[in-house]
Amino acid sequence: MPIDIDLMRLARISETVMETSSVKTLVFKDRLGSKASAGQFLMVWIPRIEEIPMSVMVSRREGHAAVTVKKHGKGTTALFEMDVGDFIGLRGPYGNRFTISTEFTNVLLIGGGTGLVPLLRLAVNITRLNIRCTLIIGARTKDEVIFEEYARKFLSDGKGKVIVTTDDGSYGLKGTASDGMVKTIGEERYDCVYTCGPEIMMKKIFEISKEQSLPVQASLERYMKCGIGICGSCCIDRWLVCRDGTVFDSNQLSRMKEFGMAFRDKDGQKLQYK
Amino acid sequence: MKGEKQSDTLSVNVGPMRLRNPTMLASGILGISQDIFERLYNNNIGAIVTKSISVDPMKGYANPTIVPLGNKTYLNAVGLSNPGVFAFSHEIMRNKFVPIVVSLVGSSEKDFPKMISFLDSLNVIGYEINLSCPHVSKMGMEIGDDPEMVSLIIRTIKRHTRKPISVKIGIGSMDVVEISRVAVESGADMITAINTVRAMKIDVQSMIPVLSNVIGGLSGKAIKPIGIRCVYEISKVLNVPVIGCGGVSSWEDVVEYMIAGASAVQIGSILGNSDDTFFNRITSGLKRYLARKGIKNIGEIVGLAHRY
């Protein structure tokens, strides 16, 4: 009988990796999660505390999946504090995926913070198709740069390259991820831009791409309760991030009035991005 | 408008509300965004019932708030999260063509005139009064089980609006027919039956209740036979339109509710497992059924089970 991905299953954390002082990767055995596509998410239950959508991180262990969490609110802090042997609940993977055309020869991936998670998964798939890949890792400061070593390892041997930007210039290129983008699109021709990270960053990347007529795919985030298209909490304009996304293309992004402008609070009130 | 053509066979009168087909969005599902309402309407839904709106914004409970249980059955304790009547009235202010019924929830009769003052001048076809939420204290079922409060709230609302109101009832400690009778005698134009049924889910591996609120409401396929029974009992006795709700996932379910006595049928949880073609599939299924039976308008099947 096929497994119902909606039914919650428990997973035991088998390994943790501290990425920075506030970012941690949790690895656990989960066959369904290990097969998730780039852009999909798991609903992760932290018993008696929260249930939160988390992008699926690559794990090198067969049959394992991982999530990378930055401690921020109640739920993410509790997840961050979990250790080897602790249990979490899982539903999913849910949502659509980044799409790759076999016509592509060179693509640009731009991620900020834990937004890098789906992009690493995507980068692995892209390099397998012999498409060249440039990954921009954006961070505020040197201490917040994550996944650099890992990305450099599999983007070596002519498969691609990694560019690190920091807002304060403490490491790599000084400036934002979109500054890094402007520089690299002046030097190379790309077929497509993939992005995930803070929405203001993605909006900027979308606008630069539009000027250059570069197609974009962006993985968006909204507050979610159900993950399966029932509650409506994650709506952005006429779309639901959980079912119609998380990945949206240039055409959809250009029709969104709320992209980079507004989001909904837990009670459904529309708030403006500052 | 595309919907007009089907008016011959599928249009229904639900009290003073005329809908192009008998499908309605159940309250609590996808109910906070005008853009989503328009998308559903363009996908051929008959009408929208919004999430229950309160005077002030409510954040609801922490997640998990919705637990899929398999077999198209769900458990939820969202906690009536909603943006409050002020923000919500702005949300639907530009509504031009979607038939919207606003669901209202309150903790005292004084809440309702306040909300109606924000909503009554907007393009809203009616109100549904949620007196049966099974998992929020002092709102919903605690009121629904108190006939004097039900009567006071309905009489108060009727003094403040000329729009039709439906009272949404659920499985509480009072008999569904008796509480419906109190609502109708106090002025309710319609009854919506039923709300979710109090239920619970425990994860046996961790030995922990899954919902943050521990107890919630059951919806989906498992409760459909209860909904059918309630619609049948209420519509057989009371002379007002009944709107069926609970576990509808196919056109056959819509037909079953209507034969039981429903004038229209609400659809909720199942939209979690569906796509944009859902309401077109329902309406074309209904049309084929009526054609096979030689029935000219779907209204003719309402309450056919009352013979038994």
Q: Which residues of A touch B268 (CB under 8 A)?
A: 230
CATH of B2-303, one of 3.90.1150.10, 1.10.645.10, 3.20.20.70, 3.40.50.300: 3.20.20.70
> Where exactly are the structural domains of chain B?
2-303
DSSP helix/strand/coil, A49: coil
ipTM above 0.95, yes or no: no
Q: What is the pLDDT of residues A218-238, one digit of tens each?
A: 999 999 999 999 999 999 999
Asked whether residue A4 is assigned to any structural domain, the reply reads: no
Domain that holds residue A240: 106-272
B192, B153 in Cβ contact below 8 A? no
DSSP helix/strand/coil, A260: coil
Q: Which residues of A touch B33 (CB under 8 A)?
A: 232, 235, 238
DSSP helix/strand/coil, A203: helix
How much is the CA Rg of chain A, to the nearest whole Å? 18
Q: Which residues of A touch B91 (CB under 8 A)?
A: 270
Instruction: Give the separation between CA A68 and CA A56, rounded to whole angstroms.
Output: 8
Q: Which residues contact A194 (CB under 8 A, 6 or more apart)?
A: A98, A107, A108, A109, A110, A119, A122, A216, A217, A218
Confidence of residue B3 (pLDDT cuts 50, 70, 90): very low
Residues A185 and A256 both lie in one domain: yes
Residues A71 and A188 both lie in one domain: no
Q: What is the pLDDT of residues B23-38, one digit of tens each?
A: 999 999 998 999 999 9
Residues A142 and A224 both lie in one domain: yes
Q: Is the pLDDT of residue A264 over 60?
A: yes
Closest approach of chain B CAs to the CA of A121, in angstroms?
26
Residues A170 and A58 both lie in one domain: no
A145, A82 in Cβ contact below 8 A? no
CB-CB under 8 Å, A232 with B39: no
Confidence of residue A1 (pLDDT cuts 50, 70, 90): low
Q: What is the pLDDT of residues B66-77, one digit of tens each?
A: 999 999 999 999
CB-CB under 8 Å, B36 with A238: yes
Q: Is the pLDDT of residue A156 over 80?
A: yes
Mutate which of A8, A49, A235, A256 to disrupt the B interface (most B C-beta within 10 Å)?
Answer: A8
- Is B245 part of the annotated catalytic residue set? no
Closest approach of chain A CAs to the CA of B207, in angstroms?
10
Cβ-based contacts under 8 A for chains A and B: 117
Mean pLDDT, all residues of chain A: 95
Domain count along chain A: 2
Catalytic residue among B133, B231, B243, B302: B133
Asked whether residue A100 is assigned to any structural domain, the reply reads: no
Q: What is the pLDDT of residues A185-213, one digit of tens each?
A: 999 999 999 999 999 999 999 999 999 99
Residues A35 and A110 both lie in one domain: no
Asked whether residue A1 is assigned to any structural domain, the reply reads: no
The domain that holds A63 is classified in CATH as 2.40.30.10
Q: Which residues of B touch A232 (CB under 8 A)?
A: 29-33, 36, 51
End-of-domain residue from the set A59, A94, A129? A94
Asked whether residue A141 is assigned to any structural domain, the reply reads: yes
Residues A127 and A197 both lie in one domain: yes
Q: In a 10 Å sphere around its CB, with 0-12 CB exposed, 13-18 middle and 19+ buried, how is residue A133 labelled?
A: buried
Confidence of residue B7 (pLDDT cuts 50, 70, 90): low
CB-CB under 8 Å, B58 with A51: no
